[in-house]
Chain A
Amino acid sequence: MAEITPDAGCPSGQSTAQDLARTETGDVVDERLFIPYVQTRSNGNFAVDLMISGAHCAGCMAKIEREISALPDVQVARMNLSTMRLNVGWRGTETTANSIVSRLDALGYGAKPFDMQLEPLSAKAELKSLLKAMAVAGAAMANIMVISVCVWAGFDMGEHTRQILHILSGIIALPAVAYAGQPFFRSAWGALKNKHTNMDVPISLAVLLACALSIYETIHGNPDTYFDAAVMLLFLLLIGRYLDTRLRLRTGESAQRLAAMQASNASLIGDDGSITTVPASLIKPGDLLLIAAGERVAVDGEIIKGRSAIDTSIANGETLPAPYGPGDTLYSGMINLGNPLHMKALAVAQDSFLSEISNLVEAGEQKKSKFVRIADRAARAYVPIVHSLAFLTFVGWLMAGGSLRTASLNAIAVLIITCPCALGLAVPAVQIVASGRLFKKGVLIKSGDALERLAKIDTIVFDKTGTLTLGQLKLTNASEIDADMLALAAQLARGSRHPIARAIADSAGDGPIADNLEDIAGEGLRAKLDGKIVRLGSASFVGAKAHDNIRDDVQVESWLKVGRAKPIRFVFKDVPRMDARDTIKALSAHGYTMELLSGDTADMTAQTARTLGLKNWTGNVSPRDKLAHLTALKSAGRFPLMVGDGINDAPALANATASASPASAADISRAAADIILQGDKLSGLVTALLTAKDAQKRVKENLSLAVLYNMIAVPLAISGHVNPMLAALAMSGSSILVTLNALRLARH
């Protein structure tokens, strides 16, 4: 029971505690949990992918691989230390999965099955093809450069030799451009078809024109070709594109891993009344489930049988449990505090509350997807200017009496030299560095544009339960209780998974468990210790009376009665996260306006706001009200950051300018949030906001550098002084400058 609080920074804490609790109740890691995920290979062998928790270093990896490979029948065990996934292949029977998982458990590592269907195959394939395109462009560039150096050095090279070398460059460049340019051509074509422009339009145009011009010049035996510039452009841009895609894949995988680690199991009631434990992801609508006392509801469903007190904070933010009975709907993440319940799993569409929430979330996400990234905004301003400049150059040279060839040569030179090469690297380079820095601090940023939106934030709206507070009960009057009495209560409490019992056990620390413990559902615990009957539970259970100091203010309480002595009162509260106060102080020092919006009662909300030093608070807020409040803030010209964890926060999270969730949040909220704060800490929020601002500053610097470079290069191109060597130098030089500027961010 000592492991109830998840280890800070370790997403596995919670699941391990659950598994341990299961083991304590004799319900050893169930092989049936893993069997559905076992894949059968064509040769009749089996394989499974497991998410490993608790492994941190290469030593863990070596130990796991060695020990699992040593199991009988196991043919291969390979762990991916980047994704923390262990792939095991074996021959024989499916049930070997069980011994693999038990062995991992014995080694001290937790394992959860990974659903291979969730593998982001298309993103991985895209990354691989970008890597190959980059290699092709790089190899072609290097080879052409070697030839170009010869041409530029010249010496006494004859015209024919030069032409042969140009032809050779063309033979290398054209297939390379056709292969490596595809990501840009496709994206540019897609944008043009929808009558937009994006950065890929001028890129594609520059590359294609450079190639066309070079072919023309080669055929006519003229001195200058741009094959090297075209390929180098693609190479540099592909670096940016690759980094950007890899960032998205990595963060996507991390988010998926978080979800998988928190996936829970459910107890399925069969037709014959038998109970099987299965992964929640395999539950179908209509399945009958048993929700034991103290258990977290794994899927949404309707109560069929039983009445109980339910901790509903995940759905509506209320700290106090509410009574639920047949016909009421339970949401995944709620906790059953009292009696066992029978529940029928529901499909999302069947339930008005949840489908309304998901509609609101979807609407918000659509609005968010219209957010234009700074690089594209720059491109929108940039493209028309560049294209008109090229056109004017063409017309200008004709009017000044230049030949058609000179005019088009110079116009194309303008297009090549203004190709947003540095622009393509300016943003991804910074975002990679920034999100890598945040990742180390336990903050997961889901996308580059989330970072851009985060930089604009000026107002922060917090949810209360589970966000500013831990969403877990803590014993608050331990100082008023005799140490002996607390130890006695803990002996009873350690035998139960009820949140109140856990709070007592936590407060008392490790110790013995009472032997003859009775768990009276919905009432409390009873045991005989030292010849006396000891009861721990509700006021009515111990027979506490008005004169025993029962107060009617809102709080969770429990009573201990030893023999015939006067009952002792235990008071519990959902306490703020350790660093909530400091975080809020730091944020207000940085000039952010903050407020608290909670679905909990006004009293509870006010109390938390006071403790944490928040001046603005509103209680009793419905999900729709939260959304309305954020919309109001936005239309007042503010840029709100929503921080929340509950199902009721999801619409607000999706509609805010940017949003954050703790890792313990409900699935729908975690999916809607832009950043996920891992561990029990809120302080990652400060780091995230400051890093985003830093990154934005760096991005703007980079864009200015790119503009500055153009201001120098464009007049040269217009006046016809740009040759291929100058174009190549200017482009690679500006790209390196921009990348170095981005890397400065990593040094903080």
Chain B
Amino acid sequence: MAALLWLIPLALSLGAVALTAFFWTVKTGQYEDTKGDATRILYSEDRPIVDEDDLG
């Protein structure tokens, strides 16, 4: 039974974290163009992870 004392608060705080994350996505307008965002990832241009100049 003692496990409940810390498991339930832990579960609830995890839920709270997820909810906060969701609020953040709403606030930053991530649901305003679901159509565009869904496809944008497919068209994003690849850029070298390390700048070529730095390699020289």
Contact = CB atoms under 8 A, between A and B. Distances in A.
Contact of B43 (A58, A131, A168): A58
Interface stretch (A80-88, A232-240, A290-298, A606-614): A80-88
Contacts of A172: 12
A62 B44 CA distance: 7
A79 interface: yes
Interface string B16-54: 001100110011000111111001101111000000000
B8 interface: yes
A61 B40 contact: yes
B11 interface: yes
A58 B40 contact: yes
B40 to A, nearest CB: 7
A131 B33 contact: no
Contact of A58 (B11, B23, B36): B36
Given A66-B45, A132-B26, A58 B39 contact: yes
B52 to A, nearest CB: 18
Interface residues of A, number: 22
A82 B11 contact: no
10 contacts: A58-B39, A66-B45, A79-B36, A81-B35, A82-B35, A82-B36, A83-B33, A139-B15, A139-B18, A142-B15
Q: Interface of chain A, helix or strand or loop or mixed?
A: helix
Nearest to A63: B43
Contacts of A128: 26-27
A61 B36 contact: yes
Given A135-B22, A136-B19, A168-B8, A62 B32 contact: no
Contacts of B33: 80-83
Interface in A45-72: 58-59, 61-62, 66
Nearest to B19: A139
Contacts of A83: 33
B1 interface: yes
A132 B32 CA distance: 14
Contact of A62 (B11, B18, B27, B43): B43
A81 B39 contact: yes
Contact of B32 (A82, A142, A143): A82
Nearest to B45: A66
Contacts of B34: 82
B11 A143 contact: yes
Contacts of B44: 62
A672 B39 CA distance: 36
Contacts of A59: 43
- The B contact surface, by secondary structure, is helix
A83 B31 CA distance: 12
B36 A131 contact: no
Nearest to B44: A62
Interface in A521-551: none
A161 interface: yes
B32 to A, nearest CB: 7
Contact of A61 (B19, B31, B39, B45): B39
B42 A58 contact: yes
A143 B10 CA distance: 12
A143 B15 contact: yes
A93 to B, nearest CB: 28
A142 B15 CA distance: 9
A82 B22 CA distance: 21
A61 B38 CA distance: 12
A59 B35 CA distance: 12
Given A58-B43, A62-B43, A128-B26, A80 B12 contact: no
Interface in A687-742: none
B40 A62 contact: yes
A172 B19 CA distance: 13
A61 B23 CA distance: 27
A81 B15 contact: no
A131 B26 contact: yes
Nearest to A161: B1
Contacts of A61: 36, 39-40, 43
A151 to B, nearest CB: 13
A80 B35 CA distance: 8
A168 B36 CA distance: 42
B19 to A, nearest CB: 5
Query: Counting chain A CB atoms within 10 Å of each CB, which of B1, B27, B33 scores highest?
Result: B33
Interface in A80-101: 80-83
A185 B38 CA distance: 36
Top 9 A-B residue pairs of the complex, sorted by shortest distance between their CB atoms: A81-B36, A58-B39, A62-B43, A80-B33, A81-B35, A82-B33, A82-B35, A135-B22, A139-B19
A441 B50 CA distance: 47
Contacts of A66: 45
Nearest to A136: B19
Contacts of B27: 128
B46 to A, nearest CB: 12
Contacts of B8: 168
A109 B22 CA distance: 36
A79 B44 CA distance: 13
A66 B44 CA distance: 9
Given A80-B32, A131-B26, A143-B12, 20 more contacts: A58-B39, A58-B42, A61-B36, A61-B40, A62-B40, A80-B36, A81-B33, A81-B35, A81-B39, A82-B34, A82-B36, A128-B26, A128-B27, A131-B31, A132-B22, A135-B26, A139-B18, A142-B15, A143-B11, A146-B11
Interface string A165-189: 0001000100000000000000000
A66 B27 CA distance: 26
Interface in A84-143: 128, 131-132, 135-136, 139, 142-143
A198 B33 CA distance: 33
Nearest to B23: A132
A335 B18 CA distance: 58
Contacts of B26: 128, 131-132, 135
B20 to A, nearest CB: 10
A41 to B, nearest CB: 17
A172 B11 CA distance: 12
Nearest to A69: B45
Contacts of B31: 131
A284 to B, nearest CB: 33
A611 to B, nearest CB: 42
Contacts of A136: 19
A628 B44 CA distance: 58
Most chain A CB atoms below 10 A, which of B8, B36, B39, B44: B36
